[in-house]
Amino acid sequence: MKKKMLLILLAVALGVATIAAATMAWFTDEDTAGDAIFTAGTVDVEVEDDADFIVDGNWNPGDADDVSWTITNTGSKAIVFKVEPEAEWRVPDNAPADIALGLDNITIKFIIDGEIIDPRSPENGDVSPWLVVGNGNNINDYTIYYIGEPLPGNFNGDPGSVDLDLQVLVDGPGTGNEYQGARFTLGGTVTAVQASNGAPNDLWNVDFYDYLNPVE
């Protein structure tokens, strides 16, 4: 009987010890880590045109008129951009249905610091801060890259902007009567990209932005 009682007492003691071990507490505390917030920057570009370049109804072979676009970075990130021109002759409504007017009679030149420069001419190829990539005479086959200092965004101050000034010349001998009443339009698409982290080279598969050290 005593032996049996001893075994019971040992079992109880062992159970108490096990419970005590399971419920043993340490001094602890906890807190919540503050959120690390990374707000993505924005890339936004705005193009403002100079309405004065519209010549309606009186444009003649041999005329040259200026076109000016102001490209402004309205986002928060520093950017570079490219311009893909879109030019066409629009025939009048009463023109024959099969008439097609080409662009060979149109020459587009840059106006840089008041100087008119034809980017296709080897001796006048420098149109910094612009770089013209393309072949032939058709302006639609060209891409105009902005390779100047990246335009700063509005994150730390005023947004950056740059003027793209062009001269549009319609050739005299190359513009026959079939162009009478036609309307020439010049527009295009401006595509901006963040200037940092190699984005221009990666997106456009070019290698002339390697030197960039953009202002954020």
Among 2.60.120, 3.30.70, 2.60.40, 2.40.10, name the CATH number for the domain at 45-204.
2.60.40
Q: Which two tokens stand for residue 22?
A: 């399971």
Give residue for tokens 């001094």.
27
| pLDDT given at position 205 | 92
Beta strands of 154-207 (E only): which ranges?
Answer: 161-170, 183-194
With 70 as the cut, is the pLDDT of residue 116 above it? Answer: yes
| pLDDT given at position 196 | 87
Give the SS3 label for residue 82. Answer: strand
| pLDDT given at position 118 | 81
Distance from C-alpha of 128 to C-alpha of 164, rounded to nearest angstrom: 11
Lowest mean pLDDT among 71-80, 95-104, 165-174: 95-104
**Which of 138, 114, 136, 118 minimizes the C-alpha distance to 126?**
118
Q: What single-letter DSSP state applies at residue 185?
A: E
Q: What is the pTM of this model?
A: 0.76
Is there a contact between 167 and 66 (Cβ–Cβ < 8 Å)? Answer: yes
Tell me the domain boundaries of the chain. Answer: 45-204
Q: Give mean pLDDT, residues 85-111.
A: 81
Q: Would you say the C-alpha torsion 94, 97, 98, 102 has a positive or negative sign?
A: positive
**Which of 162, 160, 152 minimizes the C-alpha distance to 196?**
152
Q: Which two tokens stand for residue 151?
A: 């335009």
Give the SS3 label for residue 6. Answer: helix
Lowest mean pLDDT among 9-13, 97-101, 158-162: 9-13
| pLDDT given at position 159 | 85
With 70 as the cut, is the pLDDT of residue 101 above it? Answer: yes
Distance from C-alpha of 163 to C-alpha of 68, rounded to nearest angstrom: 7
Q: Give mean pLDDT, residues 24-36.
A: 65
